[in-house]
Amino acid sequence: MSQIISITALASISPLGNNPKTIWENYLSGKPCFTQLFLDHKNTVVAALDNESRESVQDLKNADIKYKSLDKTVLYAMAASRKAIQNAGWNDIDNFGINIGSSRGATELFEKHHIEYLATGKAQTLASPTTTLGNISSWVAHDLQSTGPEISHSITCSTALHAMLNGVAWLRSGMASKFLVGGSEAPLTDFTIAQMRALKIYSNSDEEFPCRALDFDKKQNTLILGEGAAVCCLEIGKKDNALAYIENIGYATEILEHNISISAEAICFQKSMKMALENTKLSEVDAIVMHAPGTKAGDLTEYKAIQKVFSTTDLPSVSAQGDLPMLTTNKWKIGHTFGTSGMLSIEMAILMMQHQQFIGVPFAEVQKPRKQIRKVLVNAVGFGGNAVSVLLSI
């Protein structure tokens, strides 16, 4: 078995709040964290940061004149990263690496600069340096005064978990002993919402639960966008202060038929889950935090992949569909945060293990509860069929 990696801290800034107590209370409330914004020329349901989180980001922006021109994606990542390394007990003399990515990057600032260019024919001086994708990790490194490698990337909606894969690889190779990994996203803009509407996947529902993630009988797509950042501190080996351990990781890429396709039984997820579970009895997996974005095809294909993987004789009293782990997702509650979503799923998994309480989906089918939650599998996938699965334990 590959060497275990400790998650010694995790911090986020999202519609759920920005501290573990508030985040857990919001999960227990059973209500979605959605608001209405006027986007794409109409009122649109989104999952925006809570007031306390917005104020903390504004304070950070005002604290340094250099930060005033930065995009929200960078500011969100900086806010989460400060908390994470503080919680982990890291300091500026620690030689830790940073890998924080984003699906869309400097979404709001890029759209603002492009609109100005179309109107005037000129671009502002800082338009390029403040919208480049590498902007996120390099500014976080500046803010934390770190001396290790700085990496940014975009692998669509599995970006944060690919950052985790990369951090694990650096640690297991011996090239680093500590790595800060995660994702940041601020996609609540007119053009981004318009793109989702063009794909016909954005929710038009005005129901109590407008994002019907894990509702396999839904008749229409119900994706809703959210914003936020989430990062975690990784250290090689089993640490006494670990929140959870990364037991194994898996990844795979789908063979595409078109730009956003995924096979009927999500072959990429089957491969990534099998890789992550290759040293684990399937009966030991207590829960799966699914990617499940609230789209008809996305939710159902991932569910079929889980059925395929877990329908084996390794499980006691296996049925035709398999005695599945408890299945959940957080997108019915906070929407789809694109590149951040995988790390927010990691956060949910860790909280469930810490509190020994499963957070299900209110409108989904009631599942047979497990006696304990010791191992949780977390999935993410993005456009391009880049799937990641991470097996966590406590």
Quick one: pLDDT at residue 262? 64
Between CA 230 and CA 224 the distance in angstroms is 18
Convert the pLDDT of each residue in 222-280 to its tens digit.
999 999 999 999 999 999 999 999 999 999 998 766 445 567 788 999 999 999 999 89
Residues 17/233, Cβ–Cβ less than 8 Å: no
Q: Alpha helix locations (H) across 104-258?
A: 107-120, 135-144, 159-173, 190-198
Please give the chain's pLDDT, 394 residues, in tens: 468 999 999 999 999 999 999 999 999 999 999 999 999 889 999 999 999 999 999 999 999 999 999 999 999 999 999 999 999 999 866 789 999 999 999 999 999 999 999 999 999 999 999 999 889 999 999 999 998 999 999 999 999 999 999 999 999 999 999 999 999 999 999 999 999 999 999 999 889 999 999 999 999 999 999 999 999 999 999 999 999 999 999 999 987 664 455 677 889 999 999 999 998 999 999 999 999 999 999 999 999 999 999 985 444 433 444 479 999 999 999 999 999 999 999 999 999 999 999 999 999 988 989 999 999 999 999 987 899 999 999 9
The CATH label, of 3.40.50.620, 3.40.47.10, 3.40.50.1100, 3.30.1490.20, for the domain at 5-393 is: 3.40.47.10
pLDDT in tens, 325-338: 999 999 999 999 99
Coarse DSSP helix, strand, coil percentages of the chain, rounded to the nearest 5 percent: 35, 20, 45
Q: What is the pTM of this model?
A: 0.95
Which two three-digit tokens encode residue 289? 């935090």
> From residue 102, how far is each of 81, 132, 303, 380, 390 by CA, in Å?
14, 11, 26, 14, 19
